[in-house]
Amino acid sequence: MNEYLDLFLGYIAVERGLATNTRQAYSRDLGRYLDFLAERGKNEPAEVTAADIASFLVRLRDEGLAPASRARCLSAIRMFHKFLMIEKYCDDNPSAILEAPRTLHKLPAFLEPAEVDRLFSACAGTSGEDLRDRAMLELLYATGLRVSELVTITLRQVNLDVGYLMVVGKGDKERLVPIGESARGRVRRYIEEARYRLDPQGRTPHLFLSRLGDAMSRQAFWNLIRKRAKLAAIAKDISPHTLRHSFATHLLENGADLRSVQIMLGHADLSSTQIYTHVTRERLKRLHQEIHPRG
């Protein structure tokens, strides 16, 4: 079955154009699934039944995997078996009749504007690290980028004079994202005063660099933002996605239309962006309860 998995991973990379992170997640999920099938002696696609897949999902549940993670696994399994059927490796898709585990729609966490200011102030120094961290945080909040997009931005993708980024997002889709004046200033200062010291030979195309002069990794930025949040005395559990959520929430609260926010976030489907309308409604409800005399 691993041979079929290799063919499938090639298919979703070339034919479907799925992003690297998505392909890696599918590879992990399906590798686990095929190990389960091997335990059951199922070595050919035609031998797999809906009961096998249901039993695998039960095992994931018993191991404590969250509903959202189990739903993602089932999505990968469905696409895998659909591929096998299209390529004539089997006659049907045993996963088609299974329903995804129900997930609770958890509202995304975000920062209040005052908390964003405190986070920025936590890297107000003049060291190269402070200049880089402030530029990264301001750019993330100003554009709503995914962390994978932020750490892979190259110098050529940034136009500070006009004020926009050319971002390569999920599925290798390109989009233009505007940059506000504050973030432009911070990125420009980082480039002029700090970046050249990290890469004096100009060998690295990436905008944001580690202390060794290499591209910043996702994990390193995750650690960076938590370090700065601690210095800012922000009690919330903060991640790079928190600033992306804050970007979208604050735009909608200040009158931006949903379609524009969708484009800037790089969401393929408007339904993915609509979660932020729930955030703003819940926020208004909470404010009413706290402030109104009869709230």
81 is catalytic: no
Please name the fold of domain 2-86.
DNA polymerase; domain 1 (1.10.150)
Q: What is the pLDDT of residue 192?
A: 94
Contact 165, 156 (CB under 8 A): no
Q: State yes or no: pLDDT of 169 exceeds 80.
A: no
Helix (H), strand (E) at residue 94: none
Q: How many other CB atoms are found less than 10 A from the CB of residue 104?
A: 8
* Residue 154 backbone phi and psi in degrees, to 5: -105, 165
Give residue-wise pLDDT tens across range 133-163.
999 999 999 999 989 899 999 999 999 999 9
Sheet holding 174-178, edge to edge: 158-159, 164-168, 174-178
Using pLDDT thresholds of 50, 70 and 90, give the confidence band for residue 181: very high
Half-sphere exposure of 69 toward its Cβ, with a 13 Å CA cutoff?
14
When mean pLDDT is compared across 199-213, 217-231, 246-260, the lowest value belongs to: 246-260
Spans of all domains in the chain: 2-86, 113-291
244 is catalytic: yes
Q: Which of 241, 253, 240 is nearest to 283 (CA)?
A: 253
Q: State yes or no: pLDDT of 170 exceeds 60.
A: yes
Most confident of 13-22, 44-53, 95-104: 44-53
Stretch 184-200: mean pLDDT: 93
Higher pLDDT, 196 or 280: 196
Residue type for position 194:
A
The DSSP letter of residue 158 is E
259 is catalytic: no
Q: Which of 32, 40, 170, 175 is catalytic?
A: 170
Using pLDDT thresholds of 50, 70 and 90, give the confidence band for residue 293: low
203 is catalytic: no
Stretch 200-211: mean pLDDT: 91
Q: What is the pLDDT of residue 285?
A: 58
Q: State yes or no: pLDDT of 274 exceeds 80.
A: no
Q: Which of 89, 58, 87, 86 is nearest to 73 (CA)?
A: 58
Q: State yes or no: pLDDT of 295 exceeds 70.
A: no
170 is catalytic: yes
Q: What is the pLDDT of residue 106?
A: 59
Chain-centroid distance of CA 276 in Å reads 15
Most confident of 4-18, 221-235, 241-255, 268-282: 221-235
* Residue 254 backbone phi and psi in degrees, to 5: -105, 20
Q: What is the pLDDT of residue 173?
A: 79
Q: State yes or no: pLDDT of 291 exceeds 50.
A: yes
Using pLDDT thresholds of 50, 70 and 90, give the confidence band for residue 282: low
Architecture of domain 113-291: Orthogonal Bundle (1.10)
Q: Which of 146, 186, 245, 250 is catalytic?
A: 146
Q: State yes or no: pLDDT of 104 exceeds 50.
A: no
Stretch 74-82: mean pLDDT: 92
276 is catalytic: yes
Q: Which of 70, 184, 244, 245 is catalytic?
A: 244
Q: State yes or no: pLDDT of 40 exceeds 70.
A: yes
The residue to which tokens 């009413």 are assigned: 288
Using pLDDT thresholds of 50, 70 and 90, give the confidence band for residue 92: confident
Alpha carbon distances (Å) from 116 to 92, 108, 137, 246, 264 = 52, 16, 9, 9, 20
Q: What is the pLDDT of residue 107?
A: 58
Q: Which of 78, 226, 241, 283 is catalytic?
A: 241
Alpha carbon distances (Å) from 107 to 80, 95, 254 = 30, 29, 19
Give residue-wise pLDDT tens across range 58-73.
899 889 888 878 888 9
Using pLDDT thresholds of 50, 70 and 90, give the confidence band for residue 101: low
Q: State yes or no: pLDDT of 105 exceeds 60.
A: no
Interaxial angle between packed helices 258-265 and 275-291, expressed in degrees from 0 to 180 and rounded to the nearest 10: 120
